[in-house]
Chain A
């Protein structure tokens, strides 16, 4: 117990013999935790005259922030876009399984669906912190239906829509309740989108640009209205063009609000993005890169045919396409596979790769760093060899 108990009676845990990610470097330092928060051991020593109650020997492992996956459609046979009788059970199963990949927080993602699916599924997803039983749920990522028909990818065309009723009303009609929504992917060139983006951003919902044919200036306007993320960069958007870089141009645009960082999801499964393209994005804007899996229900399942939302897809090896076509419909690589691929493709340091997989920037509910200097406050930890 702390000697003078001036702050708290709770147990203090000291992790020793570990390497921690601090100030963007893996350093040999002990990690001190009390009540689920990092402690500054120097303050503990001089102010509280405290010391550790429990010492955990990490045997030289790395203790790093847990990975955050803001785009995952399901896995292990669970499809988040399917309105089953046990939505929360399905989410819990995936949450438990992805812990093994190092993911400690995620956004169950729904592809374009008819309103009744959203009305059924969204309220059933509980936003909660993770723990031993599974990764935490940050909230739902609704990818569509307000996207471009020209870049629908594997999304079902019949359920795409625009902001016909003025914008915010369309949003509320489609999704129903927004309480559990953490992230929305939309196409900013749709008429009426600026008002929608502004409204969603004000509610604390992360607005992501994707499945879109927006020009760079339309994308920049969207960022000025409050958009902060790009959904799976390069995929389902106009390719980079030197006179109009489109959404890709956001990575180096100088017409964005000064303090704003634009983050971009990158599916580093080795299939969705050529390593050369990944390197171009990474070198242009390394701070914004966020690894996502865009994993579909077949992740963790054997090869064959499976459903995703309202469609049927086919799996061969690490490829998942719309049945009968070559259109990619999502990935089946796990987050740790993506991290290794990313590291190999970009040649980046271990620390940079770990940070890309656990970037809190776009994740809703991510707090600014406080507490122990150099360490992110409130992140889940994984111990890895």
Chain B
């Protein structure tokens, strides 16, 4: 694991965006060679998306040959509902970049056969050659996507019933009416994310600190599903100072000491400095 510690949310978002930019650049995608990204929703990745959009606008990245796979989507809310993850991705990312719709995959929570939809999603990932980087966040209860405490660490894309606190936390987006909040979602499994070549987890804010502690300083445990990535060969956790508040001083000092080396991963590749990526 690489634990990347930045001063604040903005710097963490920027580091993560540069990392993704560099990986796409190094991969050198083309019409027969798509770069595949797994994408999250929520407030944590907003800064990352803003930065990626900036890089697109300045010509440093193109998403023309990038395929994306979102982690999850609610079941049974209209696709154009302002709280659907389709709306989130459109408004916060897709509408600002040059990705083609046929390359942007989001689970369809209104499919007639939800199981088939989940299986089809897994098949699409396989057909795309697997995911290069799966970007995710972490819930205060240590969950990744909707793999809430107790989810199997070997799980695949499936239908999940949402935990009561998740529903309560979401009520504010549905006029405070619990009956309007979706109570099921389609989500990639922990196993699905583990299949990716790299996993990039964004964790910012003090309210996530305990979950980060459980995820990296305690054992692998299905109650804190992000801990599964201790067994992935290429995991990067990008966080801000506040998110490290529950970690041992020793852990933090160790990884801060590695920052000069880790920062090389986000230096602009020579070619970017000389020649912008053409769309």
Contact = CB atoms under 8 A, between A and B. Distances in A.
Contacts of A288: none
- Could you say which of B79, B100, B101, B102 has the most chain A C-beta atoms within 10 Å of its C-beta? B101
A334 B104 CA distance: 49
Contacts of A163: none
B213 interface: no
Contact of B80 (A43, A49, A50): A43
Given A45-B94, A49-B101, A51-B100, 18 more contacts: A3-B100, A30-B95, A40-B80, A41-B90, A41-B95, A42-B80, A42-B91, A42-B95, A45-B90, A45-B95, A45-B101, A46-B79, A46-B86, A46-B90, A49-B100, A49-B102, A50-B101, A51-B101
A204 to B, nearest CB: 33
A50 B99 CA distance: 11
A356 B194 CA distance: 57
A42 B100 contact: no
Contacts of A42: 80, 86-87, 90-91, 95
A225 to B, nearest CB: 39
Contact of A3 (B90, B91, B102): B102
Contacts of A49: 100-102
B124 to A, nearest CB: 15
Contacts of A30: 95
A232 to B, nearest CB: 42
Contacts of B100: 3, 49, 51
Interface of A: 3, 30, 40-43, 45-46, 48-51
B234 to A, nearest CB: 32
Interface string B47-80: 0000000000000000000000000000000011
Contacts of A48: 101
A41 B94 CA distance: 11
Nearest to A2: B101
B86 to A, nearest CB: 6
A286 B80 CA distance: 32
30 contacts: A3-B100, A3-B101, A3-B102, A30-B95, A40-B80, A41-B90, A41-B95, A42-B80, A42-B86, A42-B87, A42-B90, A42-B91, A42-B95, A43-B80, A45-B90, A45-B94, A45-B95, A45-B101, A45-B104, A46-B79, A46-B86, A46-B90, A46-B101, A48-B101, A49-B100, A49-B101, A49-B102, A50-B101, A51-B100, A51-B101
A373 to B, nearest CB: 9
A26 B94 CA distance: 22
B105 to A, nearest CB: 11
Contacts of B87: 42
Nearest to A43: B80
Interface string B139-158: 00000000000000000000
Contacts of A45: 90, 94-95, 101, 104
Contacts of A50: 101
